[in-house]
Amino acid sequence: MKSFFLKCNRGNVALTTGLIAVPLLMAAAGGVEFAAAHKEHAQMQDAADAGALAGAGKLAVATYNQNTNGIREVAVSTAMDQLGGLPASTSVQFNAEVDLSKGRVTVTGIADRKPLMGFMDIGKAQMTVVAQAENLQKVPLCVLQTQDGGLSVANTAIIRAPGCAIHANHDINVTASAMIEADRIQAAGKVNGVTKPMGNSGAMTISDPFTDMDLKPPLPCLPLSVRLQVISLGTLYLPPGVHCDTLLINKAGKLHLLPGEHYFMSPLQLAGTGQITGDDVVLIFGSGKKFDFAEKGEVRISARKSGKFAGFLIITTRDNTQKFTIKSDRVSQLLGTIYIPNAELEIETAGSVAQDSAWSVIVARTLTLRQDPILVINNRYAGSGVPVPQGVGPSRIAPVLTK
């Protein structure tokens, strides 16, 4: 009898173990299917993103009423080529739509997913992904606020950028009676205040287009050799090179920059009725160095026409977090690209700034306008004699994801 009951107990244990094992196996299978479905969805989204970007890249040469079949084909074929590693049992189809008026390409992907374990229904589903990319080629990118600094226009200040795009990777704040006028106004954060047209919040961020540019000076400055050089009368004709002295241009003094690359390893200050002029020049400020254009100082400079800094007017090293200030109402020509990605540009004056420039581009961590200046961003690129760097202005052909 004892042997009989032992056999019965063993049978009960086996039965109980089997009953427990079934849900455990089901749970394990469900986990595997969930992880696989999540991975496949991510692969589809990456493929749709690649297709939308490829299609939007073709919009750089698109015109209204153009046949868009070729653009759609590029978007779909790129998405399919990008897609890899999905189970053979998962069928995928991509479709593309093109909106030429808005410069957008939208790619939609639909997949009928079958479970990896064919005897189960776990993981069986229809997956849908959507990607949208936009090409800013039709609207030149003239102002790019980088990182977390924000773009602020206060009091009665105005940014006037006809035919240009103003983009902030943080917020745009327009307060009091200030105004921004441009062809397109958008921010990755929020757009607050009065803009014409209405600004778009929640845009995709735009990365720094010049991160690969080498900004190191060719020679260092010895600390003991740095001195203050004051030009109060007459004209200093400064050849290109590394400038170690602090330069103060005041009273009736004039500084004329000869063509070339000027590395300022000390501050550049303008006051009184002093003047700074130069054609075919770039001003490169070292770490912790900046310019201050104050009082009634006059500035008329234009960017390099050739070489590795072609199109650049003012540059800082990337560890420079200084505040560059314009407090004079006689800064009438800033023709070229101002690239100070981790520094601030503050304009606090009465009257117009940069109005005589054929074109201007500003890339700065923070752009702030106070009092009542009018910052004029023109876009007369043709015939200016100064090329626009690739990545901004009308030569920005790289599309960006917007959805």
**Residue 120 tokens, joined:** 């189960």
219 vs 130, more confident: 130
Assess contact for 380 and 356: CB atoms under 8 A: no
The reported pLDDT for the residue numbered 280 is 98
pTM of the model: 0.72
**Residue 231 tokens, joined:** 């030009």
Assess contact for 227 and 190: CB atoms under 8 A: no
pLDDT band at 120 (very low <50, low <70, confident <90, very high): low
Q: Residue 234: how many CB atoms within 10 A of its CB?
A: 8
3-state percent breakdown (helix, strand, coil) of the chain, nearest 5 = 20, 40, 40
Give bridge partners of residue 92 from the DSSP assignment. 111
Q: Which of 16-25, 120-129, 379-388 has the lowest mean pLDDT?
A: 16-25
Average pLDDT score over the chain: 86
Euclidean distance between CA atoms 143 and 363, whole angstroms: 6
Q: Residue 321: how many CB atoms within 10 A of its CB?
A: 16
**Residue 60 tokens, joined:** 């750089």
Assess contact for 91 and 112: CB atoms under 8 A: yes
Q: What are phi and psi of 122, to 5 degrees?
A: -65, 130
State the chain's maximal CA–CA distance in angstroms. 123
Assess contact for 245 and 224: CB atoms under 8 A: no
Q: What is the CA 331 to chain-centroid distance, rounded?
A: 26
Residue 22: is it exposed, middle or buried by C-beta count within 10 angstroms (0-12/13-18/19+)?
Answer: exposed
Residues 6+ apart with CB under 8 A from 24: none
Chain position carrying tokens 């090293």 = 317
The reported pLDDT for the residue numbered 6 is 46
Average pLDDT over residues 79-91: 80
**Residue 296 tokens, joined:** 């009634």
Question: pLDDT (tens digit, 9 = 90+) per residue, 240-262?
Answer: 999 999 999 999 999 999 999 99
SS (H, E, C) 216-249: CCCCCCCHHHCCEEEECCCEEEECCEEECCEEEE
Assess contact for 296 and 375: CB atoms under 8 A: no
Dihedral sign (CA 150, 263, 251, 354): negative
Euclidean distance between CA atoms 155 and 206, whole angstroms: 28
pLDDT at 61 over 50: no
The reported pLDDT for the residue numbered 219 is 83
Euclidean distance between CA atoms 320 and 362, whole angstroms: 16
pLDDT at 5 over 50: no
Question: pLDDT (tens digit, 9 = 90+) per residue, 270-284?
Answer: 999 999 999 999 999
Residue 340: is it exposed, middle or buried by C-beta count within 10 angstroms (0-12/13-18/19+)?
Answer: buried
Q: What are phi and psi of 127, to 5 degrees?
A: -105, 140
Euclidean distance between CA atoms 375 and 383, whole angstroms: 22
